[in-house]
Structure 1
Amino acid sequence: MKRYLNIFLLLLAVAFSACSEQAHEHDGEEAAQETTYTCPMHPQIVQDEPGTCPICGMDLVPTSAHGEDIEITDDLAFLLQPTNETVVANINTVKPESKAVPTSVEMEGLITYDERRIYSIPARVGGRIEKLFIKYNYQPIHKGQKLMELYSPELLTAQKELLYLVRSAPEDKALIEAAKQKLRLLGATDAQISHLIRTGEASYTFAIYSPYDGYAIGLNTTAPSATPSSTPVTAPNAGGMGTANPGMDRSRAATPPAGSELQLREGMYVSTGQPLLRVVNPNQLWAEFNIPAGEVTSIAKGAPVQITFPQLPGEKLEAQVDFLQPFYEAGENFAKVRVNLPGKQKLARVGQLVSGTATYTTARALWVPRKAVLDIGTRSVAFKKVGGSFKPVAITVGTIAGDQVQVVSGLEQTDVIAANAQFMVDSESFVKINE
């Protein structure tokens, strides 16, 4: 009997032990199922398995669902809000605006002559310069002023022909008038012809007078070089008078190219048609500015320009654009803007450096605040709002007017972009643009 009791107690102990183990296993499975893992820095990251935080990379720590309930206050709710949602919610946004904006472009240039008022005085007859009264650049010249005295066998012969006709055939008015006209074509004035008839003596030197007012320019005031001249000089005639041959070879006489310096010396020979002097009238001046080629399409003829003088603070001139010329020089693409200075004024001097501000109104286009565009060196970027986040997009900018930037391409008028693009970039970020 006692033996059966022991067996019963043994069986009862085994059964109780098995039940206890099953209960412990059940409790372990339930605990394993209720354990979750979260990030200490980002509590919004919750996973059922151990791992790392997808935001900061920290190891997840286990948390139990049987912990005490925590009251979620407003301040705690703000801290528990995802970081990107918090930042996005506080970013100001703007939309591109379609409008025409009045703007201006700054230019640097200088004062120069009006090329339409630069005159050339050529030699109407060949000969030798006996006396020269214009000897340096920018020497004032008045209309009717004597420039030089020229010895010319051709002029001497024409004078003697007229005197001979006046003395021998005074009744032949037509022939006398033809002789006078010949002298006029050789450069003689009516006053010189009248003086010749009145005195009855031919002059061996003939004065050349200026038909223009202004200043002498383009004179070569340097000493002549020892190299042979390319202009052939004719030998004296056989008469031994030391004068040029009346039949001097005009076809071989070389004339200097346009715009080059003119060499004038007493005793030198000149040929028919050779430029003797250039005279510029400074009553009308130009201001010429160089601007980037991209700006020239915006400025039109007649656009107002305000000219200032660095040497004269506070002094200003109001003018208008007269001419636009695309120009390419020294590998740099730019345009030349010419402005006619108004009337006679005392502020501008030839060769003076000036600054100009041309104002104009742009064509209608999309404009955004300047802060909304980020320049990353190779391109410009704006942050376009897509859903609940911002996406960097490449844009093409045009004119910059104050705190506004013209958007040529990359954005639509319905797009929403960040008002401050710099705020979207931190020290550890890199803007990646999807092409």
Structure 2
Amino acid sequence: MERKIFLKNMALMALFPSVFIAACSEGKKSAAGVGGQKLQTFTCPMHPQVVKNEMGTCPICGMDLVPFEKNSNDKALKVDEKRQALANIGILMIGENSLSGVKQLNGRLVVNPEQSSYISSRIAGRIERLYVQETGVKVKKGQPLYKLYSEQLATLQQEYLMAIAQEKQFQGDQIERQIVASAKQKLLLYGQSEQEVKQLVKTRKKDPFVVFYAPEGGIVAEVSVTEGQYVTEGSPVLRLEGYAQLWVEADVYPDEAKNVKDGQKVKVVITGWEDQPQEMTISFINPALASGTQLMQIRGSIPNPGNQWQPGLQANVFLPSGNKSKALTLPVDAVIRDGKGMHVWIKKGKDSFEPRLVKTGQENDNQVEISAGLKNGDQVVVTGAYLLYSEYILKKGKNPIEGLKM
């Protein structure tokens, strides 16, 4: 009896692996679909987290699901005529045209350091009164800036009065006259005016206070002291910026630098003042790349009548880059540019579109030269290219130019 039970258990144990393997095989066939082919999945264009094995509608927004081809290696994108019309996809057969090359560079207005004035203390003392205490204030030439109390100034005044008294005792002595002139020059260098020196001689009363005036007009950009603060000779007090002339700095890629020359005249347009284009002469080309970028900088200056522009405003610099009579050209918006390269979309059939890597040459506001990647007669998407780019990423889950070669 026990022998029969043992044989029965052994038979069941031998049967389990074959049943398990058959079940797994059936499961794999079910997942793969009929004939071993992978089932088509569908997703929502607005909610890509929704993935189903059959066509239907999105449970979130109710939109029709679209095929999800994330694992497909097919570069073609299928878009039916109805969706092409909705996306406003326009096709142009590329051909040779004449191109007037003007490269638009991104730039900005910055302060011209040559228009800045640094006000420092001419003598050690205490800031008794600060007439300008905040930045952004407009200052005129000759306007009082600060009043300084200085015991050193009082000592110099006393030396000047003593030199005058001693000169009177030695009339006509050349050395005494030089001592008086030297003492007076010290007072002038330390901020005393001619009128104040004459008043000192007249009243013979020392005045340890001296008022300093703005040597130039401008905008207060920095205030380095406060009232009651002691300063040494040469300590910074104020910084004034002049906006009558501003620098324009623009970014240039190294391969475009060959078209830039020192002394070259270019057109500058300030954003918001497109009706007032300015002519600028390039005065400096930075030979080094800007920190952390692959950009060089060029610079020039433009007048700023009435101080209507402020540093920091965006400026567009238009750099001439020559003319070409025969060049394959496309509208600028037809070329999609991202961190991986530049590409366009080619129509390959009634409902089929494919990405194509390209290289560009000269360009202006409207047209761009295609120097490599296309040939005369190719049908290129010129409107709606970004919609194709977005739909490709949505459907296939990757950049359309991955794996492409020129």
Same fold (TM over 0.5): yes
Residue 240 of structure 2 corresponds to which residue in structure 1? 279
Give the structure 2 partner of residue 152 of structure 1: 150
3-state DSSP of counterpart to 2:294: strand
Listed as ranges, the matches of 1:40-189 within 5 Å are 101-109=100-108, 111-170=109-168, 171=171, 172-189=176-193
Aligned identity (percent) is 20
Distance 2:307 2:229 in 1: 40
Q: Cα distance, 1:366 vs. partner? A: 7.5
Determine if contact 1:125/1:186 at 8 Å carries over to the other structure.
yes
Quick check: 2:266–2:280 contact (8 Å CA) kept in 1?
Answer: yes
Is the 1:284–1:341 Cα contact (8 Å) retained in structure 2? yes
- Structure 1 unaligned residues grouped into runs of 5+: 1-90, 220-261, 384-391
TM-score scaled by structure 1? 0.53
Distance 1:350 1:421, change over 3 A: closer
Is residue 2:249 matched to residue 1:288? yes
Per the alignment, residue 304 of structure 1 pairs with 266
Q: How much does 1:108 deviate?
A: 4.8
In structure 2, C-alpha distance between the alignment counterparts of 1:370 and 1:265, rounded to whole Å? 61
Q: Which amino acid aligns with 1:338?
A: R
- What corresponds to 2:277 in structure 1? 317
> In the aligned structure 2, how far is the partner of 1:169 from the partner of 1:215?
46
Q: 1:148 to 1:403 in 2, by over 3 A?
A: closer
Aligned with 2:320 (options 347, 352, 360)? 360
Checking the alignment, whether the CA contact within 8 Å between 1:400 and 1:406 is kept in structure 2 is no
Partner of 1:403: 367
TM-score w.r.t. the length of structure 2 is 0.56
Q: Is 2:214 aligned against 1:210?
A: yes
Q: CA RMSD in A?
A: 4.0
> What is the deviation of 1:176?
0.6
- The residue aligned with 1:12 is none
What is the CA–CA distance in structure 2 between the aligned matches of 1:365 and 1:304, rounded to whole Å?
22
Which structure is larger by alpha-carbon Rg, 1 or 2? 1
Question: CA-to-partner distance for each residue in 1:116-157, whole Å, 9 max, x for gaps?
Answer: 111112212111111111211132323332222212222111
Aligned-partner Cα distance in 2 for 1:118–1:206 = 24
- Residue 205 of structure 2 corresponds to residue 198 of structure 1: no
The whole-number CA distance in structure 2 between the counterparts of 1:186 and 1:178 is 13
Instruction: Give yes or no for contact 1:108–1:290 (8 Å, CA) kept in 2.
Output: yes
Secondary structure of 2:185's match? Answer: helix
SS at match of 1:158: helix
Give distance in 2, aligned partners of 1:166 and 1:406.
84
Counterparts of 2:358 and 2:205 in 1: how far apart (Å)?
Answer: 85
Q: Distance between the aligned counterparts of 1:374 and 1:140, measured in 2?
A: 48
C-alpha distance in 2 between matches for 1:291 and 1:103: 13
Preserved contact between residue 252 and residue 297 of structure 2 (Cα < 8 Å)? yes
* CA deviation map 1:79-127 (0-9, x unaligned): xxxxxxxxxxxx97857x8x88432315353x33221111112212111
In 2 relative to 1, CA 205–288 (structure 1 residues): closer, same or farther, beyond 3 Å? same
Q: Distance in 1 between matches of 2:296 and 2:319?
A: 16
Going from structure 1 to structure 2, the CA distance change for 1:154 and 1:193 (only over 3 Å counts) comes to: same
CA positional deviation for 1:399: 3.1
Amino acid corresponding to residue 403 of structure 1 in structure 2: Q
Q: 1:162 deviation in Å? A: 0.5
Work out whether residues 105 and 319 of structure 2, in 8 Å CA contact, stay in contact via their aligned partners in 1: no
Between 1:179-188 and 1:361-370, the stretch displaced more is 361-370
Give the aligned residue type for 2:147: E
Report the Cα distance in structure 1 between the residues aligned to 2:404 and 2:221, rounded to whole angstroms. 60
**Separation (CA, whole Å) in 2 of partners of 1:144 and 1:336:** 37
List alignment gaps of at least 5 residues for structure 2.
1-91, 347-354, 383-391, 393-399
